[in-house]
Chain A
C-alpha cells in the first residue's frame, strides 16, 4: 500500500495541480499497486506513514491562510524529508517549503525550511509555457505563473535548467529545487501528466524507500509525449 498525502486540497488547488495526485494514483493502480489518498487540510493530522506528499499552487491570500498551519508542521516535514519521504511541491507550496517568502510589501511569511530556498515577491509575474531539461525527470514541460522569485541556497540542487527569463527567478536559468527525495517546482500543467518519466521516478523512489521492487511495468505514454511536444512548441 502506497500512501499519497494531498496537502490543502481546498486552499491550494487553483492551477490544476490536483492532477498530479491523480496521475500518480492511476500509474500505481495500472501496475496493480494499492494506493490510498489522504487529504490533509488545516489542523488535520499529517499521517506518519506517508510515502509521497503532494502540494499545489494557490492564491496569494490562501498562502497566508495556510501559512501558520504549514509552518507548525515544519519539524515533522523536515523529519519526513530526512527519512526519505518523496515530496512534490508546486508553486505556492514550493515557496512555503523554503525559509521564507517576502511579499512585495516587505511582509515576511515564514516557511517550513525543508528546502534551502528563499522567495521574494515582485510586481511582475513570470507566466508562460516552460520547458525544463532535468537529469532526474528528463524533459519537463509545464506552465508557470508566479510573482515570487526564488533563489537556491547551497543545500539544494536545481531540478533542471531552462531559458533566461523563466524558472525560479528569471536570472540564473534554474528551475525548481531538489534535496534528496524532495522536489519543488513552478511547473503547473499538471507537470506529471506531460512528464511520465518524472512521475515514475517519484514512484520508484517511494517503492525503494519501503524496500519494494522498483521495476515498473511500462505504460503506453505516447499521448503524453505528444502533448509535451506540442506544449514545448507553443507560444510562451
Chain B
C-alpha cells in the first residue's frame, strides 16, 4: 500500500512536470486523501526521526540552515520548496523515495506553517522541534497572535525528544512550560536585543530582556560576518544570507544541531555552506546590474529586511516594492502601515511600487513623506523598468510571496543568479 502511495504521488508529480507545472502541493494532497497513514508510516522508518521548524518569520531560511548543517553527518530529507503544509512534506517524501519504496534517509527536516504544524504533529509526533517566533502575520488566516502562539504550544506538547526555543520571544518561551521534551534555548546577546523588536516593543513597549541562559547565542552581526557562542565556544562565521534576522536564525539552527551532538567546529563549517533560500536575500545579475530579492510578509519581517539599506549605501540602489494581496500574500494589506518607511528616499536613487496593491503602497509611502516615482501594477514591467533605469548600485526588491514567484520567473529568463 505504501508502494501504491509512492507510485501515485510520483505519477502525479511527473504528470505536472510534463505539462510544465511546478506542483509541490498536489501530489502530496492526493496521497494525503487516499493514503492518510502513509506519512506516519514513512516517518517511522527514518532512524533519527523528524525535525519540525515553525514560527512566523524565518521558517524557510532556518529549515535550509538546519538541513545544510545536518547534511554534514546525515542523509537529510527536507521540503525545500516552500510548500509548508502537510501535503508539502508528503510531496517531498514521495519524491525522495525510490520507485521500489525505499526511503534512504537518516533524518527529516520539515518547515511547517503554524496551523499545519498542528495537523502534522497529530499524525507524526516529531522527535525535535525548533520554534522561532510569533509575530503579527496573516491575521486574515490566523485571526490573532495569541491564537498562533496556542498553535505552537500544541507542537511543543507533541514533541518527544528535544525542543529548541527562542528565549527572546515571550510567547515562544512560554511553551516550555508544557512539553515532555528537553528544552534547548537560543537567543541574541542582551546588547543586540533592541535590534529585534517584537510587535509590542515596536509601539513603545519596554524591551524585554530574558534572563534565561541560552546554549546558543548571537553575539554580534557585522555583515557578512556573525559571531556566535555555543555553550562556551565562541566563533565567527561568514553567512551568505544577508540580514540580522538571518543571523538570529543561524543561532536557532546551531542550537538544533547541538541536540544532535554537533561540535562548534562542525556547526561553523556547516553554516558557511548555507545558500540564501528562494527570494530571501537571493541575488541576480541582469544587464550587468545586480538585483537582490527580499521576501516581505509582515511588519516585523519588512522592518528587518529594510535594514539591508543601513548604513546608507554610498551609491544608493533603485528600490522596487511589490505588493500582491492573494491568499498566500495575505488579503489584508493594512500591515504596511505598521512598517516605518520614513527616510527611505535618502537610501534609494528612486522608489517604485508594483503589484495588485501598487497604489496602496504608494499611498503608504506618501504619508511617510517618501516620494514614489511610479506605481506600476504589472510586476514584470516594473522590474524591467527598474533594471533599465538603475545605476551601478543596482536594484533592491521587496516583494510579497506570489509576486516573488512572478519576479523570479522573469529573472531566470533575463538574468543569472549571482
- A-side residues, CB < 8 A to B, are 9-10, 13-19, 22-23, 26, 39, 59-61, 125, 127-129, 142-143, 145, 147, 188-190, 193-194, 223-224, 226-227, 230-231, 234-235
Any chain A CB within 8 A of the CB of B306?
Answer: no
Q: How far is the CA of A234 from the CA of B364 in the complex (A)?
A: 18
Q: Which of A14, A22, A60, A234 is close to B325, meaning CB atoms less than 8 Å apart?
A: A234
Q: For residue A230, which residues in chain B have a CB less than 8 angstroms away from its CB?
A: 356-357, 359-360, 377
Tell me whether B204 and A9 are in contact (CB under 8 A): yes
Distance A15 CA – B333 CA, assembled complex (angstroms)? 9
Query: B334 — nearest CB in chain A belongs to which residue?
Result: A16
- Known A-B contacts A10-B205, A13-B203, A190-B337; A145 and B356 likewise in contact (beta carbons under 8 Å): no
Question: Told that A145-B139, A145-B140, A230-B359 touch, could you supply 4 new A-B pairs with CB distance under 8 A?
Answer: A13-B199, A143-B333, A194-B360, A223-B375
Q: Which of B41-49, B66-74, B142-150, B228-236 contacts A (4 or more CB under 8 A)?
A: B142-150
- Chain A contacts for B140, CB-based, 8 A: 127-128, 143, 145
Say whether A193 contacts B145, CB under 8 Å. no
Pair A145/B357 contact, Cβ less than 8 Å: no
- Residues in A with CB closer than 8 Å to B357 are 227, 230-231
The smallest beta-carbon distance between A84 and chain B, in angstroms, is 27
Q: Counting chain B CB atoms within 10 Å of each CB, which of A16, A129, A189 scores highest?
A: A16
Determine whether B416 belongs to the interface, using a CB cutoff of 8 Å to chain A.
no
Task: Establish whether residues B204 and A193, one from each chain, have CB atoms under 8 Å apart when the complex forms.
Answer: no
CB distance from A54 to the nearest CB of B (A): 13
Question: Can you report 15 residue pairs joining A to B where beta carbons are below 8 Å apart?
Answer: A13-B338, A14-B139, A16-B338, A22-B368, A59-B144, A143-B140, A143-B334, A188-B332, A188-B334, A193-B364, A223-B362, A224-B359, A230-B356, A230-B359, A231-B360
A60 touches B331 (CB 8 A): no
Chain A nearest CB from B267 CB (Å) reads 36
A9, A10, A19: the one contacting B367 at CB < 8 Å is: A19
Closest B residue to A144 by CB, please name it.
Answer: B332
Tell me if B332 and A145 are in contact (CB < 8 A).
Answer: yes
- Among residues of B, the one whose C-beta sits closest to the C-beta of A18 is B337
Q: How far is the CA of A127 from the CA of B136 in the complex (A)?
A: 16
Q: List chain B residues, Cβ under 8 A from A18.
A: 203, 337-338
Task: Please report the C-alpha to C-alpha distance between residue A188 and residue B368 in the assembled complex, in whole angstroms.
Answer: 19
A62 to B140: give the CA distance in the assembly, Å. Answer: 18
Chain A residues closer than 8 Å to B338, beta-carbon distance? 13, 16, 18
- Number of B positions contacting A (CB below 8 A): 34
By beta carbon, the residue of chain A nearest B356 is A230
Assess the B332–A23 pair: CB atoms within 8 A. Answer: no
Query: How far apart are the CA atoms of A13 and B201 in the complex, in Å?
Result: 12
Asked if residues A125 and B143 are in contact (CB atoms below 8 Å), the reply is yes
Q: In the docked arrangement, what's the CA distance between A128 and B139, Å? A: 11
CB-based contact B367/A193 at 8 Å: yes
User: Cα distance A129–B330 when bound, in Å?
Assistant: 12
**Is chain A's interface secondary structure helix, strand, loop, or mixed overall?**
mixed
Q: Which residue of A lies closest to B327 (CB)?
A: A235
The reply on B268 being an interface residue by CB < 8 A is no
Given A127-B140, A223-B359, A230-B357, CB of A19 within 8 Å of CB of B334:
yes
Indicate whether B26 reaches chain A with its CB closer than 8 angstroms.
Answer: no
Q: B232 to nearest A CB, angstroms? A: 38
Q: Which residue of A22, A39, A59 is within 8 Å of B204 (Cβ)? A: A39
Assess the B331–A22 pair: CB atoms within 8 A: no
Near A by CB (< 8 A), chain B positions 325-367 give 325, 331-338, 356-357, 359-360, 362-364, 366-367
A23 and B333 CA atoms in complex are apart in Å by 16
A128 touches B367 (CB 8 A): no
Assembly CA distance A189 to B204 (angstroms): 22
Q: How far is the CB of B326 from chain A (nearest CB, A)?
A: 8
Q: Is B200 an interface residue (CB 8 A)?
A: yes
**CB distance A227 to B145 under 8 Å?**
no
**Contact between chains at B203 and A10 (CB < 8 Å):** yes
CA distance in complex: A80, B31 (Å): 62
Q: Which residue in chain A gives the minimum CB-CB distance to B199?
A: A14
Q: Please give me the 9 A-B residue pairs with the lowest Cβ-Cβ distance, nearest first.
A: A16-B334, A19-B337, A16-B337, A227-B359, A226-B359, A227-B360, A143-B332, A188-B334, A10-B203
Cα A193 to Cα B146 with chains together (Å): 28
Interface residues of B in 99-150 (CB under 8 A from A): 136, 139-140, 143-146
List, in ascending order, chain A residues with CB within 8 A of B203's CB.
9-10, 13, 18
Q: When A14-B199, A61-B146, A227-B357 are in contact, do A193 and B335 touch as well, CB less than 8 Å? A: no
CB contacts (< 8 Å) of A226 on chain B: these are 359, 375
CA distance in complex: A128, B363 (Å): 20
**Contact assessment for A26 and B146 in the assembled complex, using a CB-CB cutoff below 8 Å:** no
Q: Which residues of B contact A26 (CB under 8 A)?
A: 367, 369
Contact with A along B367-384 (1 / 0, CB 8 A): 111000001010000000
Q: A residues within 8 A CB of B331?
A: 128-129, 143, 234-235
Least CB distance, B276 to chain A, in whole angstroms: 29
Expressed in whole angstroms, the Cα–Cα distance for A193 and B139 within the complex equals: 20
A9 proximity list for chain B (CB < 8 A):
203-204
Contact A224-B205, Cβ < 8 Å, known A61-B146, A145-B140: no
- Cα distance, A19 to B299, chains bound together (Å): 13
Across the interface, A223 reaches (CB within 8 A) one of B204, B205, B366, namely B366
The interface residues of chain A lying within 8 Å CB-to-CB of B145 are 14, 59
B146 touches which of A13, A15, A59, A125 (Cβ 8 Å): A59
Whole-angstrom distance between the alpha carbons of A193 and B136 in the complex? 21
| Set of chain B residues within 8 Å of A189, measured between Cβ atoms | 334
Cβ–Cβ < 8 Å partners of A39 in chain B: 204
A230→B363 CA distance, assembly (Å): 13
B213-239 contacts to A, CB under 8 A, are none
Q: How far is the CB of B203 from chain A (nearest CB, A)?
A: 5
> Whole-angstrom distance from the CB of A146 to the nearest CB of chain B?
10
Known: A15-B334, A59-B144, A189-B334. A10 touches B204 (CB 8 A): yes
